[in-house]
């Protein structure tokens, strides 16, 4: 059972993770359109850099409960 402070921290962390994932998918949208229209991918390194927000969001979402408990352990 989580305390109200931990629940609030969990919400904020998951909200930030969701924002990072949406940002990453928005960055990928144009490249996905080019891929679907059968145009060659000209800069694969840029694609790798555009995946960083998605990966950071997934990692943050995965670690969110542990982070929320750690951040609020002194508030109980």
> If residue 67 lies in a helix (H) or strand (E), which one and from where to where?
helix 64-71
Q: Which pTM does this prediction carry?
A: 0.83
32-60: per-residue pLDDT in tens? Answer: 788 788 877 777 788 888 889 999 999 99
Least Cα distance to 71 among 24, 23, 30, 16 occurs for 16
Q: Hey, where are the domains in the chain? A: 4-71
The pLDDT value recorded for residue 76 is: 65
Q: Give the mean pLDDT of the chain.
A: 90
């Amino acid at each position: 059972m989580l305390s109200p402070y931990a629940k609030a921290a969990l919400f904020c962390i998951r909200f930030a993770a969701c924002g990072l994932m949406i940002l990453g998918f928005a960055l990928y949208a144009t490249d996905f359109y080019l891929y679907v229209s059968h145009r060659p991918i000209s800069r694969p390194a840029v694609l790798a850099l555009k995946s960083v927000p998605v990966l950071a969001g997934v990692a943050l979402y995965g670690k969110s409960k542990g982070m929320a408990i750690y951040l609020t352990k002194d508030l109980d």
